[in-house]
Every structure is written in structure tokens, then in C-alpha cells.
Amino acid sequence: MTRQRLADVLETIYESRRRFRTVRASGRSHGRDWRLWWAGPRHVRTEEAHRGGSLVTVRADAGWWMRLPNGKVETNNGDESVQVGFNSSILQILQSRALLSSAILQILGDDVIAGRPAATLRARPRQESEHARWWSSTEPFDVAIDLQRGIVLRGPQLDVTEVAFDEDFGDGVFGPLARRGEPVRDVTVRPREVSLEEARATVPFPILLPTVLPEGARLTRCLISPEIPPVWVGLSWVIVPGIRYFLHLRQGPDVESAPASPDWREVSQGEVTVRVREARGAGFRSVSAAIDRNGTLAQIDSDLPAETVIEVAVSLGAGE
Amino acid sequence: MSEVGEILELMHTSDLRWRTLRAEGREWRDEAGHLDAFLRRHPQRSSTKVLSFSARDPGVPAGGRRSETSEETWKLWLAPGKVRSEFEAGGETVAVVIRGDTWWSWSPSWGAQTNGGRKNSTHGTGSGEALIAPARILSCANLFVRGRTTALGRAAFAVRAVPVASDEDDEGPLALHGIGSGDDYELIVDAERGILLRSEARLRDRPVRVLEMRDVSFDEDLPEATFELAPPTRAAFETMMSDRSLLLEELPGAVPFTVFVPQRPSADQVEVWMTPERSRGRVPQSVQIAYTSSDASRRGSLSLLESAQPMPPLDWVSWREKDEVMVGEDRRMDPALRMLRLQREGTHVELTSHDLSFDEMIDLARSLVPLPHGTLSL
């Protein structure tokens, strides 16, 4: 194979979007396997392996569908004001052109990747380029570019293992994800704001309320999910004066238990166990506390100090 | 190799084609045309509120009209790891030197300032900077080579650049920001060094922003004194402290004046910043408390600016007294910003809102109470 000239590779990258009509690819990014079908920016399907299942995302013109790893299906029902985000570490194989602006490329040699002739290049990120940097590195890194189509075949934490261009995809590729009769959550149907009394009368589970709240706490909002019957209820308090703090409490069968990840720690008070996650930075504090009370899962999110959130969580009881 | 390939390589590798650079030039703008082009590139979405505003040029008297076109000059010196720039901004000349992570600047208004080497504080180097970073536009504009030309006695390519559709590249409008907003651009690319000798942003075939070099030289040995900044006043450099984001609970212990908050703001989210004293007290220490609603359909956004020192007069705002407070409107914005000022226990408070009425703001001002110190009781 002849070593490529830089100008030719740059031109291939520059023209990349004009060099294919459709792309079907498989690969691995950040340790996760994925598959991609792309027929222009408005017709995209990705499937990516997650712990506990696959995440499938489909966009077809204005509409999108998403099958979550837990099997639930969501859609925007064609409402383009509610958009879906694709995993950028998959779509970056098509975003080679960002390299022209944000890095300085130097040819290293030739290779064959996923059966495709490729140029391998060293990319040195430009110091001033904060934008258009999909590789999230300030250190030099190597990339491989398809010599005919200009897409990225290999990059930091990215390997394409199979790729095909200009195939005609069947209708099902960009079609709805739900099987016949399977429930689909329409994300454009908003939760309903109700009074606490109305929520109690509407939801089919006991509503847990804290018996302990900070001085100055004021209930500002009570929302129930749009499903019939509702699958969660959300209560929001602010601590006055001046919204010193907020506290959101979400509970019901749709609330998932806190994942078994190192971000969450267990705190026991008497017979009650609360799982707690904290994040703190300049100008923000985020504390989440998850608790299971007689089979009802509840999660608190707040910017109160963690010990206060734990006390509130421990005090949760039904029928107050 | 095609001509486009040659241009791509020139612009992409421009940084590698010179060791030092000295240049001076000008920026010309059709103010209304450029704003029009910007709004065309960033169309208003139905779900988004757009505030348009214009800052007042100190050279224009209050209530006066800004001229339809403007022209500002700039000078640049670059060497590895070092930059010096002198450019016009706000009717005065700003001089800045950058060495590594540290910048020093001087201007008649702001005096001698430095970031003291803090990486989170950067300084602009004026409009000429965009001409020496030609690679920025390669990801977001399609190039059409018009042919060879000469400029400033140098061999060059004349190139038309057309922004790509935003669906193709999310960064498009941002990356073109340096050379302005336009339907298309006429560029003069130096055939040896790859920099832009001229850029003309155009809207409907009329120029709206021109950046051009009047002189440029490469690979001179620039004297070390070029990258040292000596303020004319011989004043010591004041280290600029950045705004700091805080929790509301941290404010009482962070400032030497009583902070006031509304008893029951109508929004449900709050963000807090503290601005340190700057320019040796000309900009006093202040805090800003911004209330917003998590539900975009709800009104109630409100900002409070508080300081131990009086707020500047803002001569573009007509103030009047209403119910024992001063109220005014900043009509440079659309919708107008309603403003209310009062003093309480030595603290000067300014409330501003785009969507609350004066009566609602006065009610909130009457509810102001000192932000509690100390821990929270359950």
C-alpha cells in the first residue's frame, strides 16, 4: 500500500459526508459493544450493550423511540421539540471533520481495519480548541481514517470492527421499537400537578411523608405521573427564606432501587437503612438518599447537607 | 492533489509554517448587518426565549445613536508560548501580554491587571486572532477555490467559504464565530503560511464584517521586551480574581455586609455568585442571587445584586421613585429589563426581572429579610 499524502487524507476527511449515503457499523467504545445504522442525521439507529440489557435508540425524522436496558420503551410521539441524544462515542466515527479544526494531523502509515484500507495518523490537539473536541484528550493520540469514505475506524477508546456503506435498510431499522400490545411511555405527556389530597386519592400506593423537615420548609409542588394509574408521585419543598435549600421526594413503583455502585454508601439508623450518594463542587451540593419502606421505594434529591437528608429519609412514614 | 486539498493542508498546518509572526490590521463592521447575520445563523426556536441587547459605546452620548459602521485596529506579535496584542475595545486601546498560563493587561479604564497564572482566567487577544487560526473553520465550512491572487505583496489563494448545514456538524456556528456571522465568506489565504490575510463575512452578497491585515511579517527575532508589559502609570498589576459560585448558605460568611433574600421567591431554583472587588475598588465586591423556575412555562425569574457600595448610575436607565424605591427599565434589551433599587441596613440591593411587574417586584422587595447565618434546625 502506498503511504498517503497528508493533503489527500485531509481532503478525504473533508469530503467524508459526501462519500457515503448510508453506514452500517459495529464496534466498541469505552469497553461497550455497539451497532450503528445511519442514513443521514435524521435516520439513525444505535444499539449498545449495557449492564442488564441493551439500549436501543432510533430516530426517524421527527420521531424517536428508545428501548431502555430494563426493557421499557419510550417515544416522543413525533414531537420534535422533545429530542433524543445519541451516544456521541458511537457517532464520532462520522465526525472525522472535527479533526481538521481541533488537532494537527501527521501521517504515520497505512493499515487495514475492519477490512477497509486506512491511514493511521497522530493527532495533536490544538491548544486553543475547546470546541469540536470529541476525543476528550489534551494529549496526542492516534486515529485511523477510512481512505475511501473518510470516517474514523479507530480512535481513543474506539474500535470499528465491521462497516458497510450505501446499503438499503429495511423499513424496520428505523421503525417503532415496541412489539404489538407492549406499553410505550410517551415522554411528551407531562406529569400532572395536583394537591397532596388529590394525589393521595389518585395513586394506588400509600404516600410516604417525612415527619422531620428543616425549619422553613414549604411544600411547593405535588406531581403525579401521567400513567393511569400513576406510577410515581413527586413532592417538592423549598426551605425559606430565599430558597436556602430544595428537597424533592419521588416515590412509587416506577422508582428504581439505587444501583449497587461505589457511588452509593449505606447508612443505618436503627432498623432503617438508607443508601446515600453525595457530590460537591463550587456552588453546588447534590445529595440523593434512597430508601425502601414496606415495599415502597422512595428517593430524595436535595442540596441540604447529607446528614439532614438522611434524617428526613429515615423519618419517612405513610399516612401522615 | 486538488486545489482544495492544497488549501486544506495549508490552513490545517498553518501553525507549523511560521515560528514568529508580527501583524497589524483592522476590523470593519456593519453593525446592523452583522447582528442580522448572527440572528440568521442562530434562529430563535419556539421553546427558547431570546434576549437581544446592545452594549453602549462610551463614545456615544446617552440616548445617542451608534454609528452604522465601525472600524477598530489591532496589532499582534506571536512567538512560541508568547503573545502580545494591542487592540481597540469599547473606545480605548487594550494591551495584553500572554506567556504560558499568565496574562497581564492594561487599559485606561481597567488599569493594570493580571490573572496571576490561574488557568481558569483567560484573556482575549482581539479580532486579529481569528486570522491566524484558519484551521478553526475547516470543520464547519465548505471551501470553493476562486483562484490565485496576491495580497500585501504575498502570493495567496482567493477562497469562498460557505457554512455547512448545522446537522452535519454541531460545532459549526461556534467555530465560525471568530470571523463573524455570514451567509458566506470571501477569504484570502496566504499561499506559503496558510494564515488568512483577509476575511469578509457577507450577508445577501453585502459585507457585514471584514478582518484584514495591513502588514505581516514572519520569523523575525522579536525582542524579549515585546512580551513584557509596562503600564504607562507604572502601577503594580492587580491580580484579577474570578467570580466564584457559592451555595446560598455560604454567603453570610463570605461577604462583610448583610445579604438580603426574598421571604418567598416565586421561582424554585437559585444560583449564587460572588464577584470580588476589582480595579482597586472601582468595581466593588458584590453578590448576585438568581432565581429561576424549573418549569419554563412559569414566570418569576428574579436576580438580586447586592453590595456594600452604591450601584453605578447606569445613565441609559431612566430612574423614578415608586413606593419608596427607585425603579427603572433597561430598554436596550427586548423584552426590557425591569430594575428596582433600595438600601437596607447598609446593603445596596438591585432587583432585576424580565417577566415580573414592578408591583410584583416591589412586593418581593418589601419581603426582603437577612439571609440566616449558621446551621439549620430540624
Q: Domains in chain B: how many in total? A: 2
Query: pLDDT at position B56, please?
Result: 41
> How many CB pairs lie under 8 A apart between chains A and B?
140
Is residue B192 domain-shared with residue B102, that is, in the same domain? yes
Is residue B201 domain-shared with residue B323, that is, in the same domain? no
Is residue B213 domain-shared with residue B291, that is, in the same domain? no
Instruction: Tell me whether residue A303 is exposed, middle or buried, using C-beta atoms within 10 angstroms of its C-beta: 0 to 12, 13 to 18, 19 or more.
Output: buried
User: Cβ neighbours of residue B363 under 8 Å, at least 6 residues apart?
Assistant: none
Quote the crossing angle between the two packed helices B3-12 and A6-14, to the nearest 10°. 100
Cross-chain residue pair B270–A243, CB shorter than 8 Å = yes
Is residue B202 domain-shared with residue B302, that is, in the same domain? no
Cell readout for B182 is 455570514
Of B8, B171, B249, the CB nearest to A98: B171
Cell readout for A197 is 389530597
Is residue B204 domain-shared with residue B272, that is, in the same domain? no
Chain B, 150-189: which have a CB under 8 Å from a chain A CB?
167-169, 171, 174-175
Secondary structure string (H, E, C) spanning chain A: CCCCCHHHHHHHHHCHHHCCCCEEEEEEECCEEEEEEECCCCEEEEEEEECCEEEEEEEECCEEEEECCCCCEEECCCCCCCCCCCCHHHHHHHCCCHHHHHEEEEEEEEEEECCEEEEEEEEEECCCCCCCCCCCCCCCEEEEEECCCCCEEEECCEEEEEEEECCCCCHHHHCCCCCCCCCEEECCCCCEECCHHHHHHHCCCCCEEECCCCCCEEEEEEEECCCCCCCCEEEEEEECCCCCEEEEEEECCCCCCCCCCCCCEEEEECCEEEEEEEEEECCEEEEEEEEEECCEEEEEEECCCHHHHHHHHHCEEECC
Is residue B199 domain-shared with residue B269, that is, in the same domain? no
Domain-located, residue B235: no
User: Cβ neighbours of residue B231 under 8 Å, at least 6 residues apart?
Assistant: B106, B111, B112, B237
Is residue B37 domain-shared with residue B86, that is, in the same domain? yes
Cross-chain residue pair B175–A283, CB shorter than 8 Å = no
pTM value?
A: 0.82
Is residue B269 domain-shared with residue B319, that is, in the same domain? yes
Distance from CA of B271 to the nearest CA of A (A): 8
Q: Are B81 and B99 in contact (CB under 8 A)?
A: yes
Domain-located, residue B378: no
Chain B CB contacts of A8 under 8 Å are 1, 5
Cross-chain residue pair B174–A131, CB shorter than 8 Å = yes
ipTM of the modeled complex: 0.82
Task: Show the low-confidence residues of chain A (pLDDT under 50).
Answer: 1, 131-132, 320
Q: Which of A18, A100, A190 to mutate to test the interface with B (most CBs of B within 10 A)?
A: A100
Residue A43, amino acid: H
Query: pLDDT at position A52, please?
Result: 83
Distance from CA of A33 to the nearest CA of B (A): 25
User: Chain B residue closest to A131 (CA)?
Assistant: B171
Domain-located, residue B234: no
Distance from CA of B233 to the nearest CA of A (A): 32
Query: For strand A184-186 and strand A73-75, is the pairing parallel, antiparallel, or unpaired?
Result: parallel
Query: pLDDT at position A136, please?
Result: 67
Cross-chain residue pair B377–A308, CB shorter than 8 Å = no
Chain A CB contacts of B168 under 8 Å are 17, 41
Domain-located, residue B297: yes
Domain-located, residue B89: yes
User: Chain A residue closest to B263 (CA)?
Assistant: A241
Last residue of a domain, one of B167, B194, B227: B227
Is residue B279 domain-shared with residue B199, that is, in the same domain? no
Chain A CB contacts of B289 under 8 Å are 242
Query: pLDDT at position B53, please?
Result: 42
| Residue A99: closest CA among A37, A30, A150 | A150
Of A101, A218, A220, the CB nearest to B175: A101
Domain span at residue B163 reads 3-227
Q: For residues A160 and A114, what is the distance between their CA atoms, to the nearest angstrom?
A: 7
Distance from CA of B60 to the nearest CA of A (A): 34
Cross-chain residue pair B378–A213, CB shorter than 8 Å = yes
Domain-located, residue B232: no
CATH number at residue B23: 2.50.20.10
Cross-chain residue pair B12–A10, CB shorter than 8 Å = yes
Cross-chain residue pair B265–A242, CB shorter than 8 Å = yes
Is residue B342 domain-shared with residue B250, that is, in the same domain? yes
Chain A CB contacts of B47 under 8 Å are 81
- Within an 8 Å CB–CB cutoff, is residue B243 touching chain A? no
Domain-located, residue B330: yes
Query: pLDDT at position B262, please?
Result: 96
- Within an 8 Å CB–CB cutoff, is residue B119 touching chain A? no
Chain A CB contacts of B8 under 8 Å are 7, 10-11, 14, 100
Chain B CB contacts of A102 under 8 Å are 139
Is residue B85 domain-shared with residue B212, that is, in the same domain? yes
Chain B CB contacts of A303 under 8 Å are 247
Q: For residues B116 and B240, what is the distance between their CA atoms, to the nearest angstrom?
A: 7
CATH numbers and ranges of domains, chain A: 2-165 (2.50.20.10), 190-314 (no CATH)
The one-digit pLDDT tens for each residue of chain B (378 residues) are 789 999 999 999 999 999 999 999 999 999 888 778 777 766 554 444 444 444 444 444 444 445 589 999 999 999 999 999 999 988 899 999 999 999 999 998 888 999 999 988 889 999 999 999 999 999 889 999 999 999 999 999 999 999 987 654 454 556 677 888 889 999 999 999 999 999 999 999 999 999 999 999 999 999 999 999 988 877 789 888 888 999 999 999 999 999 999 999 988 899 999 998 877 667 789 999 999 988 777 778 999 999 999 988 888 888 999 888 999 998 887 788 999 999 999 999 999 999 899 999 999 999 999 999 877 878
Cell readout for A261 is 455502585
Q: Are A192 and A240 in contact (CB under 8 A)?
A: no
Of A11, A105, A241, the CB nearest to B5: A11
Domain-located, residue B288: yes
Chain B CB contacts of A131 under 8 Å are 171, 174-175
Cross-chain residue pair B169–A98, CB shorter than 8 Å = yes
Cross-chain residue pair A81–B169, CB shorter than 8 Å = no
Query: pLDDT at position B47, please?
Result: 40
Chain B CB contacts of A17 under 8 Å are 168
Cross-chain residue pair B9–A7, CB shorter than 8 Å = yes
Distance from CA of A257 to the nearest CA of B (A): 25
Is residue B184 domain-shared with residue B156, that is, in the same domain? yes
Last residue of a domain, one of B227, B261, B276: B227
User: Cβ neighbours of residue B238 under 8 Å, at least 6 residues apart?
Assistant: B111, B112, B113, B114, B278, B279, B280
Query: pLDDT at position B376, please?
Result: 80
